[in-house]
Chains A and B, each alone.
Chain A
Amino acid sequence: MIELDHTDHAILDALRSDGGMNAKQVGDVVGLSQPAAYRRIRRLEADGVITGRALIVDAAKLGYGVTVFLGVKLAARGRSAMADFERAVISIPEVQLVQQVIGVHDYRLRIVAQDLSDFERILRRRIMTLPGVGDVESNVLLSDE
Protein backbone atom coordinates (compact mmCIF):
# COMPACT_ATOMS: atom_id res chain seq x y z
CA MET A 1 0.00 0.00 0.00
CA ILE A 2 1.24 3.46 -0.90
CA GLU A 3 1.15 6.38 1.53
CA LEU A 4 -1.15 9.05 0.15
CA ASP A 5 -1.89 12.35 1.85
CA HIS A 6 -5.07 14.42 1.82
CA THR A 7 -4.05 16.26 -1.34
CA ASP A 8 -3.49 12.99 -3.21
CA HIS A 9 -6.94 11.76 -2.18
CA ALA A 10 -8.45 15.10 -3.23
CA ILE A 11 -6.77 14.74 -6.64
CA LEU A 12 -8.13 11.19 -7.03
CA ASP A 13 -11.64 12.36 -6.05
CA ALA A 14 -11.46 15.18 -8.59
CA LEU A 15 -10.33 12.82 -11.33
CA ARG A 16 -12.98 10.24 -10.37
CA SER A 17 -15.68 12.85 -10.90
CA ASP A 18 -14.21 13.89 -14.26
CA GLY A 19 -11.38 11.84 -15.72
CA GLY A 20 -10.96 14.33 -18.57
CA MET A 21 -9.61 17.16 -16.41
CA ASN A 22 -6.08 18.40 -17.15
CA ALA A 23 -3.49 19.27 -14.49
CA LYS A 24 -4.55 22.94 -14.48
CA GLN A 25 -8.20 22.08 -13.81
CA VAL A 26 -7.28 19.51 -11.14
CA GLY A 27 -5.03 22.11 -9.51
CA ASP A 28 -7.88 24.64 -9.44
CA VAL A 29 -10.16 22.12 -7.70
CA VAL A 30 -7.68 21.02 -5.02
CA GLY A 31 -5.83 24.33 -4.56
CA LEU A 32 -2.48 23.59 -6.23
CA SER A 33 -0.58 25.31 -9.00
CA GLN A 34 -0.61 23.61 -12.40
CA PRO A 35 3.01 22.30 -12.09
CA ALA A 36 2.43 20.97 -8.55
CA ALA A 37 -0.78 19.19 -9.60
CA TYR A 38 0.99 17.80 -12.68
CA ARG A 39 3.85 16.41 -10.56
CA ARG A 40 1.45 14.68 -8.16
CA ILE A 41 -0.63 13.17 -10.96
CA ARG A 42 2.55 11.86 -12.61
CA ARG A 43 3.66 10.35 -9.28
CA LEU A 44 0.25 8.63 -8.82
CA GLU A 45 0.72 7.18 -12.31
CA ALA A 46 4.33 6.14 -11.66
CA ASP A 47 3.30 4.43 -8.38
CA GLY A 48 0.60 2.49 -10.23
CA VAL A 49 -2.33 4.06 -8.35
CA ILE A 50 -3.67 5.53 -11.59
CA THR A 51 -3.28 2.73 -14.10
CA GLY A 52 -4.70 4.48 -17.13
CA ARG A 53 -7.60 6.30 -18.69
CA ALA A 54 -10.60 5.09 -20.63
CA LEU A 55 -12.72 6.91 -23.16
CA ILE A 56 -16.41 6.75 -22.25
CA VAL A 57 -18.61 6.46 -25.31
CA ASP A 58 -22.39 6.19 -25.53
CA ALA A 59 -22.68 2.53 -26.58
CA ALA A 60 -26.35 2.93 -27.55
CA LYS A 61 -25.54 5.81 -29.90
CA LEU A 62 -22.95 3.57 -31.56
CA GLY A 63 -25.57 0.87 -32.09
CA TYR A 64 -24.83 -1.32 -29.06
CA GLY A 65 -28.09 -1.64 -27.13
CA VAL A 66 -27.45 -4.76 -25.05
CA THR A 67 -25.01 -5.47 -22.22
CA VAL A 68 -24.72 -9.00 -20.85
CA PHE A 69 -22.80 -10.35 -17.87
CA LEU A 70 -21.50 -13.88 -18.37
CA GLY A 71 -20.29 -16.31 -15.77
CA VAL A 72 -17.97 -18.89 -17.31
CA LYS A 73 -16.75 -22.16 -15.88
CA LEU A 74 -13.83 -23.90 -17.53
CA ALA A 75 -14.32 -27.55 -18.50
CA ALA A 76 -10.61 -28.20 -18.85
CA ARG A 77 -8.28 -27.76 -15.86
CA GLY A 78 -4.66 -26.80 -15.57
CA ARG A 79 -2.48 -23.81 -16.24
CA SER A 80 -2.31 -24.14 -20.02
CA ALA A 81 -6.12 -24.38 -20.26
CA MET A 82 -6.42 -21.10 -18.34
CA ALA A 83 -3.77 -19.37 -20.43
CA ASP A 84 -5.37 -20.50 -23.72
CA PHE A 85 -8.82 -19.38 -22.60
CA GLU A 86 -7.58 -16.01 -21.31
CA ARG A 87 -5.57 -15.20 -24.44
CA ALA A 88 -8.55 -15.98 -26.67
CA VAL A 89 -11.24 -14.24 -24.61
CA ILE A 90 -9.47 -10.89 -24.17
CA SER A 91 -9.01 -10.59 -27.92
CA ILE A 92 -12.78 -10.64 -28.64
CA PRO A 93 -13.70 -6.99 -29.34
CA GLU A 94 -17.22 -7.25 -27.89
CA VAL A 95 -15.80 -8.47 -24.56
CA GLN A 96 -15.17 -5.39 -22.41
CA LEU A 97 -14.38 -6.95 -19.05
CA VAL A 98 -12.60 -10.17 -18.09
CA GLN A 99 -12.15 -10.98 -14.42
CA GLN A 100 -10.81 -14.16 -12.91
CA VAL A 101 -12.88 -15.01 -9.83
CA ILE A 102 -13.31 -17.59 -7.06
CA GLY A 103 -16.81 -18.96 -6.56
CA VAL A 104 -19.49 -20.63 -8.67
CA HIS A 105 -17.71 -19.40 -11.83
CA ASP A 106 -14.08 -19.16 -12.90
CA TYR A 107 -14.41 -15.98 -14.97
CA ARG A 108 -16.80 -13.04 -15.22
CA LEU A 109 -17.23 -11.29 -18.56
CA ARG A 110 -19.12 -8.21 -19.70
CA ILE A 111 -20.16 -8.18 -23.34
CA VAL A 112 -21.74 -5.49 -25.51
CA ALA A 113 -23.94 -6.47 -28.42
CA GLN A 114 -26.14 -4.62 -30.90
CA ASP A 115 -29.25 -6.55 -29.86
CA LEU A 116 -30.22 -9.96 -28.49
CA SER A 117 -29.78 -11.79 -31.79
CA ASP A 118 -26.32 -10.22 -32.15
CA PHE A 119 -25.59 -11.39 -28.59
CA GLU A 120 -26.72 -14.91 -29.51
CA ARG A 121 -24.34 -14.86 -32.48
CA ILE A 122 -21.41 -13.72 -30.26
CA LEU A 123 -22.27 -16.33 -27.63
CA ARG A 124 -22.51 -19.15 -30.14
CA ARG A 125 -19.67 -18.29 -32.51
CA ARG A 126 -17.14 -16.64 -30.19
CA ILE A 127 -17.76 -17.60 -26.56
CA MET A 128 -18.89 -21.23 -26.82
CA THR A 129 -15.97 -21.93 -29.18
CA LEU A 130 -13.33 -20.63 -26.74
CA PRO A 131 -10.73 -23.23 -25.72
CA GLY A 132 -11.64 -25.05 -22.51
CA VAL A 133 -14.99 -23.32 -22.03
CA GLY A 134 -17.57 -25.19 -19.94
CA ASP A 135 -20.80 -23.92 -18.41
CA VAL A 136 -21.83 -20.38 -19.36
CA GLU A 137 -24.50 -18.38 -17.56
CA SER A 138 -25.92 -15.17 -19.07
CA ASN A 139 -27.60 -12.31 -17.26
CA VAL A 140 -28.81 -9.37 -19.34
CA LEU A 141 -28.29 -5.90 -17.86
CA LEU A 142 -31.59 -4.11 -17.26
CA SER A 143 -30.37 -0.99 -15.48
CA ASP A 144 -27.39 0.48 -13.66
CA GLU A 145 -28.51 1.53 -10.21
Chain B
Amino acid sequence: MLDDTDRRILRQMQADPSASVATVAERAGLSHAPCWRRIARMERDGVIKGRRILIDQRKLGLEVQVFLRITLDKTARNAFDAFILEARKIPEVTAMQTLLGRVDIRMDVTARDLAHYQEIYRERIMALPHILDVESLMLVAELKNSEAVPV
Protein backbone atom coordinates (compact mmCIF):
# COMPACT_ATOMS: atom_id res chain seq x y z
CA MET B 1 0.00 0.00 0.00
CA LEU B 2 1.04 3.57 -0.63
CA ASP B 3 1.43 6.04 2.18
CA ASP B 4 1.26 9.82 2.06
CA THR B 5 4.97 10.15 1.26
CA ASP B 6 4.66 7.76 -1.72
CA ARG B 7 1.72 9.79 -2.97
CA ARG B 8 3.67 13.03 -2.59
CA ILE B 9 6.49 11.53 -4.67
CA LEU B 10 4.06 10.28 -7.31
CA ARG B 11 2.39 13.68 -7.57
CA GLN B 12 5.77 15.30 -8.22
CA MET B 13 6.76 12.67 -10.77
CA GLN B 14 3.44 12.92 -12.62
CA ALA B 15 3.71 16.70 -12.75
CA ASP B 16 7.29 16.63 -14.08
CA PRO B 17 8.28 13.19 -15.42
CA SER B 18 11.70 14.39 -16.61
CA ALA B 19 12.78 15.60 -13.15
CA SER B 20 15.78 13.83 -11.59
CA VAL B 21 15.43 11.82 -8.39
CA ALA B 22 17.26 14.63 -6.56
CA THR B 23 14.72 17.19 -7.77
CA VAL B 24 11.75 14.95 -6.94
CA ALA B 25 13.19 14.31 -3.46
CA GLU B 26 13.63 18.02 -2.80
CA ARG B 27 10.11 18.89 -4.00
CA ALA B 28 8.57 16.05 -2.01
CA GLY B 29 10.50 17.15 1.06
CA LEU B 30 12.71 14.14 1.77
CA SER B 31 16.33 13.21 1.24
CA HIS B 32 17.73 11.51 -1.83
CA ALA B 33 18.27 7.92 -0.66
CA PRO B 34 14.83 7.23 0.85
CA CYS B 35 13.17 8.91 -2.14
CA TRP B 36 15.16 6.69 -4.53
CA ARG B 37 14.20 3.58 -2.51
CA ARG B 38 10.51 4.46 -2.59
CA ILE B 39 10.58 5.08 -6.35
CA ALA B 40 12.38 1.75 -6.88
CA ARG B 41 9.77 -0.01 -4.75
CA MET B 42 6.87 1.55 -6.68
CA GLU B 43 8.53 0.48 -9.93
CA ARG B 44 9.02 -3.07 -8.61
CA ASP B 45 5.39 -3.23 -7.45
CA GLY B 46 4.20 -2.07 -10.87
CA VAL B 47 2.61 1.14 -9.59
CA ILE B 48 5.04 3.03 -11.83
CA LYS B 49 5.06 1.20 -15.16
CA GLY B 50 7.48 3.41 -17.06
CA ARG B 51 7.67 6.54 -19.11
CA ARG B 52 6.23 7.45 -22.46
CA ILE B 53 7.50 10.13 -24.84
CA LEU B 54 4.99 12.47 -26.38
CA ILE B 55 5.47 13.06 -30.11
CA ASP B 56 3.88 15.75 -32.25
CA GLN B 57 2.55 13.66 -35.16
CA ARG B 58 2.15 16.76 -37.33
CA LYS B 59 5.90 17.42 -37.14
CA LEU B 60 6.38 13.93 -38.61
CA GLY B 61 4.19 14.80 -41.59
CA LEU B 62 1.08 13.07 -40.24
CA GLU B 63 -1.38 15.94 -40.48
CA VAL B 64 -4.67 14.12 -40.11
CA GLN B 65 -5.93 12.28 -37.07
CA VAL B 66 -9.45 10.87 -37.09
CA PHE B 67 -11.30 9.03 -34.34
CA LEU B 68 -13.75 6.49 -35.68
CA ARG B 69 -16.68 5.31 -33.58
CA ILE B 70 -18.00 2.07 -34.93
CA THR B 71 -21.21 0.16 -34.31
CA LEU B 72 -21.00 -3.53 -35.18
CA ASP B 73 -23.69 -5.89 -36.39
CA LYS B 74 -23.95 -7.99 -33.24
CA THR B 75 -26.30 -10.49 -34.84
CA ALA B 76 -23.24 -11.85 -36.64
CA ARG B 77 -21.39 -14.43 -34.57
CA ASN B 78 -17.89 -13.41 -33.45
CA ALA B 79 -18.43 -9.95 -34.93
CA PHE B 80 -16.03 -8.36 -32.40
CA ASP B 81 -13.24 -10.90 -32.84
CA ALA B 82 -13.44 -10.91 -36.64
CA PHE B 83 -13.50 -7.11 -36.77
CA ILE B 84 -10.60 -6.61 -34.34
CA LEU B 85 -8.47 -9.26 -36.04
CA GLU B 86 -8.77 -7.50 -39.40
CA ALA B 87 -8.50 -3.96 -38.03
CA ARG B 88 -5.21 -4.79 -36.29
CA LYS B 89 -3.67 -5.41 -39.71
CA ILE B 90 -4.13 -1.77 -40.78
CA PRO B 91 -0.90 0.07 -39.91
CA GLU B 92 -2.59 3.50 -39.86
CA VAL B 93 -4.88 2.35 -37.02
CA THR B 94 -2.77 3.45 -34.06
CA ALA B 95 -5.16 2.61 -31.20
CA MET B 96 -8.35 0.63 -30.74
CA GLN B 97 -10.68 0.12 -27.78
CA THR B 98 -13.86 -1.83 -27.16
CA LEU B 99 -16.51 0.16 -25.33
CA LEU B 100 -19.72 -0.25 -23.41
CA GLY B 101 -22.15 2.42 -24.55
CA ARG B 102 -23.78 3.69 -27.71
CA VAL B 103 -20.83 2.63 -29.87
CA ASP B 104 -18.91 -0.66 -29.73
CA ILE B 105 -15.41 0.17 -30.92
CA ARG B 106 -13.37 3.29 -31.20
CA MET B 107 -10.15 3.62 -33.08
CA ASP B 108 -7.56 6.24 -33.96
CA VAL B 109 -6.51 6.58 -37.58
CA THR B 110 -3.43 8.63 -38.53
CA ALA B 111 -2.81 9.79 -42.10
CA ARG B 112 -0.47 12.12 -44.02
CA ASP B 113 -3.28 14.27 -45.42
CA LEU B 114 -6.97 14.14 -46.29
CA ALA B 115 -6.40 12.35 -49.60
CA HIS B 116 -4.39 9.66 -47.80
CA TYR B 117 -7.10 9.40 -45.14
CA GLN B 118 -9.79 9.05 -47.81
CA GLU B 119 -7.84 6.18 -49.33
CA ILE B 120 -7.42 4.37 -45.99
CA TYR B 121 -11.07 4.91 -45.18
CA ARG B 122 -12.39 3.58 -48.47
CA GLU B 123 -9.95 0.78 -49.14
CA ARG B 124 -9.26 -0.52 -45.64
CA ILE B 125 -11.80 0.66 -43.05
CA MET B 126 -14.94 0.13 -45.15
CA ALA B 127 -13.64 -3.34 -46.06
CA LEU B 128 -13.70 -4.43 -42.39
CA PRO B 129 -16.34 -7.05 -41.53
CA HIS B 130 -19.66 -6.56 -39.69
CA ILE B 131 -19.76 -2.74 -39.69
CA LEU B 132 -23.25 -1.35 -39.13
CA ASP B 133 -22.40 2.33 -38.70
CA VAL B 134 -19.34 4.60 -38.57
CA GLU B 135 -19.06 8.06 -37.03
CA SER B 136 -15.97 10.18 -37.53
CA LEU B 137 -14.46 12.86 -35.35
CA MET B 138 -11.51 14.78 -36.76
CA LEU B 139 -8.92 16.16 -34.36
CA VAL B 140 -8.57 19.93 -34.39
CA ALA B 141 -6.44 20.50 -31.30
CA GLU B 142 -5.26 18.59 -28.27
CA LEU B 143 -5.70 20.69 -25.13
CA LYS B 144 -4.64 18.15 -22.53
CA ASN B 145 -3.00 14.75 -22.81
CA SER B 146 -1.88 13.19 -19.59
CA GLU B 147 -1.57 9.73 -18.08
CA ALA B 148 -1.76 11.24 -14.62
CA VAL B 149 -4.34 10.08 -12.10
CA PRO B 150 -5.22 12.00 -8.93
CA VAL B 151 -3.12 10.64 -6.04
A residues near B (Cβ < 8 Å) are 1-2, 4, 12, 15-16, 18-20, 47-59, 61-62, 64, 69, 71, 86, 89-90, 93-105, 108, 112, 137-145
Q: How far is A55 from B10 in the complex, measured between Cα atoms in Å? A: 9
CB distance from B137 to the nearest CB of A (A): 4
Q: List 22 A-B contacts (CB under 8 A).
A: A1-B58, A18-B51, A48-B59, A49-B55, A50-B53, A51-B56, A53-B17, A54-B54, A56-B49, A57-B147, A59-B149, A62-B2, A97-B142, A98-B142, A99-B139, A103-B135, A103-B138, A105-B137, A112-B149, A138-B101, A142-B98, A144-B95
- CA A58 to CA B98, docked complex, whole Å: 19
Q: Quick check: A97 and B106 within 8 Å, CB to CB?
A: no
Q: Are B140 and A139 in contact (CB under 8 A)?
A: no
Is B91 part of the binding interface, using a Cβ–Cβ cutoff of 8 Å? no
Binds A, one of B25-33, B40-48, B114-122, B124-132: B40-48
User: How many A-B contacts at CB < 8 Å in the complex?
Assistant: 179
A56 lies within 8 A of B138 (CB)? no
**Interface residues as binary, B1-42 with A (CB distance below 8 Å gives 1, 0 otherwise):** 010000000100110011000000000000000000000000
Interface pair B97/A103, CB less than 8 Å apart: no
Closest to B46 in A: A58
**Complex alpha-carbon distance, A12 and B147, angstroms:** 20
Is B137 a contact of A56 with CB atoms below 8 Å? no
Residues of A within 8 A of B58 (CB): 1
- Shortest CB-to-CB span from A126 to chain B, Å, is 12
Shortest beta-carbon distance from B23 to chain A in Å: 14
- Distance in Å from the Cβ of A77 to the closest Cβ of chain B? 16
Q: In angstroms, how far is the closest chain A Cβ from the Cβ of B41?
A: 13
Task: Identify the closest chain A residue to B141 (Cβ).
Answer: A100
